[in-house]
Structure 1
Amino acid sequence: MSDIEADPPLNDLFVEPEGYYPPTPPPTTTFYTTLTGDTITLHLVGHSPLEAHHLWNASRVVAEHFERNPDEVRGRTVLELGAGAGLPSLVASALGAKMVVMTDYPDVDLVRNMWRNVDECALIPREAKKGSQGAEEGDEPTNIVVDGYIWGADTTKLLKYLESDTSSQEPQGFDLLILADLLFRHTEHRNMLKTVRHALKRTRDAKALVVFCSYRPWLQKKDLAFFDLAREQGFEVEKVMEKKMDRPLFENDPGDVEILKTVTGWELRWPETECLGNGEVKANAAGS
């Protein structure tokens, strides 16, 4: 017998040794304390290329903004894009929104995690769920759902969550869209705006609330380019808030510390010419 060892099977040649790759970080938990002292527990996925493993500053700012201005969401229909842990959606639901649709990329773990945060939030309204035999089988939320959604995709499935009366002349769409800390994804600006255009109700009081921090200060101009593009597409854009956090979200991040601590909020609205009212299409809205 030859002293030369037999060649290993080819399918073993490309198998990395155990421990070759670092383990995926485990899921984490963080908390948000409401202005009334209640605590919302937020589960975060362990690691996500979609950055959903952080609770971003803009989410906290939006949640507090809703608490201080509950009429922003009470009785209104709300769609959150790129929700991550979904804090703004949870607060909107708790404050009495008519319907909240919490969305993020259709990754199984991410969608499951959003549902977990909904299921464990004691502040959102619920009703008893009855089984096929009429027996109660726990409870379920009455005004919030979770779904996977890719920015720029068809919004039909999102709009189906809204109660609609086909005989009504009321324009279809959401009263409020939430985009919290999404603008760092510069290549997705057009897709975000495409969704806004097709999901936002065409009325003057409907709006998209865009809140963000420039976590890469040297790219702030690219973040802000979103609003230039929104104006080009016919939206009215207005800066409505600015909040200075106590410290940057990530310690030792490079760049201007003041920019890293600053969260700003902007509203996108339809101009009068793009609105639908009383069953009539305004002159410039047809075919849009």
Structure 2
Amino acid sequence: MALTTRISLTGPEATDPEDYFADSLGVIFPDDVADQHGDSKHGLLYTSPHLPHPLSLALADVSGEADRTLFSHYLWNSSLLLTELIEAGTLRVDLPLDRGIAPDVGEFNVAGLKTLELGAGTALPSIMAGLLGAQRVVVTDYPAPAVLKTLRENVAATVQARFAPAGRFAVEEVLVEGHGWGELETPLARENRHAFDRVLAADCLWMPSQHENLRRSIAWFLGEDAAARAWVVAGFHTGRAKMSQFFEKEALAAVGLEVEHLWERDCDGKDRQWVWDRGVENVSSRKRWQVVGVVRRIPKPTGASGQRP
């Protein structure tokens, strides 16, 4: 099943000629796929066969240029993919991953874990985590009032037992807060250092200038337990060269992190090896693929006895 089939628009019918043209692109260009969904005039409905009711999501109504450049007023395919991985991993749904490239889907299980999402946008991955048994769910995005208002509304309206599969809802705390990447002197940061089993980041790599800050935030919030992981999923819509810099070995190592798994997955569920350079990639091709990164702390060396020195 294609990644985007679970999403539909809600709200008034489109009347703008540009909207009609956008809707027809899939017919004009059969290989083209939408990689962003919704706008401030239209909400989104996310329908999963594994949830008892569809999830209604609003999108931030941003007016100022500074807020618009955050691109939090769309749902991106990377969020859809991360949500699908969390659902499949936690419920043990059949979602084959190429085991020569990717980990077992069960590694995306969030039951009983504490999760934090960075740059959440609509918060769909966090919402899914909250419905499927995560113990604590913290949702963050840039502290812009319009963005945080929508996040709080989405989370409050959907992270409820009635939307969860029977027997799964077990969340003890759900929190929505502003967080600018790399800003580690705030109350949220001071109170939650190394507090999370899983750090989620969907489509947060399009600004190379913010990669260092994003890495710093992941390293700050990620737990020190050997099992702690960050899941970083991103599209190629701004080009591979820009987003790939985040995964550079030396840059991650500078904050004590390393890549455990890194691969690419398309909107139809096909996996392929990650490569740093695929030459010229046309826009339609780029929009079909996401990179999936599993990041962990660099393991501490052990002594000869097998004990940490």
Q: Which TM-score applies when normalising by structure 1? A: 0.70
Instruction: Letter of the 1:45 partner, please give it.
Output: A
Task: Check if 1:104 corresponds to 2:141.
Answer: yes
Instruction: Letter of the 2:74 partner, please give it.
Output: H
- Contact between 1:101 and 1:158, CA under 8 Å: does it hold in 2? no
Work out the percentage of aligned pairs sharing the same amino acid: 28
Task: Check if 1:216 corresponds to 2:238.
Answer: yes
C-alpha distance in 1 between matches for 2:301 and 2:45:
40
Pairing of 1:1-288 with structure 2 (within 5 A)? 26-37=40-51, 38-47=53-62, 48-70=68-90, 72-121=109-158, 123-124=160-161, 142-154=172-184, 157-158=187-188, 172-217=194-239, 220-228=240-248, 229-245=251-267, 255-273=282-300
Higher-helix-fraction structure: 2
**Which 5+ residue runs of structure 1 have no aligned equivalent?**
1-24, 127-140, 163-170, 247-253, 276-280, 284-288
C-alpha distance in 1 between matches for 2:112 and 2:189:
17
Residue 231 (structure 1) shift? 4.0
Rate the CA distance shift 1:94–1:26 in 2: closer, same or farther, 3 A: closer
Residues paired across the two proteins, number: 223
Instruction: Letter of the 2:293 partner, please give it.
Output: W
Rate the CA distance shift 1:198–1:261 in 2: closer, same or farther, 3 A: same
- Contact between 2:115 and 2:134, CA under 8 Å: does it hold in 1? yes
Instruction: Letter of the 2:54 partner, please give it.
Output: T
Q: Which TM-score applies when normalising by structure 2? A: 0.65
Summarize deviations over 1:105-142 as a string: whole Å, max 9, x none.
Answer: 1111211111100121164589xxxxxxxxxxxxxx84
Residue 161 (structure 1) shift? 6.8
C-alpha distance in 1 between matches for 2:126 and 2:185:
18
Rate the CA distance shift 1:89–1:61 in 2: closer, same or farther, 3 A: same
What is the SS of the residue equivalent to 1:97?
coil
Instruction: Letter of the 2:124 partner, please give it.
Output: L
Instruction: Letter of the 1:226 partner, please give it.
Output: F
Residue 267 (structure 1) shift? 1.0
C-alpha distance in 2 between matches for 1:244 and 1:29:
25
C-alpha distance in 2 between matches for 1:172 and 1:55:
28
Residue 273 (structure 1) shift? 1.2
- Contact between 2:229 and 2:294, CA under 8 Å: does it hold in 1? yes
Instruction: Letter of the 1:153 partner, please give it.
Output: E
- Contact between 1:175 and 1:201, CA under 8 Å: does it hold in 2? yes
C-alpha distance in 2 between matches for 1:125 and 1:273:
43
C-alpha distance in 1 between matches for 2:59 and 2:185:
26
* Partner residue, 2:27: none
What is the SS of the residue equivalent to 2:134?
coil
- Contact between 1:93 and 1:124, CA under 8 Å: does it hold in 2? no
- Contact between 1:43 and 1:113, CA under 8 Å: does it hold in 2? yes
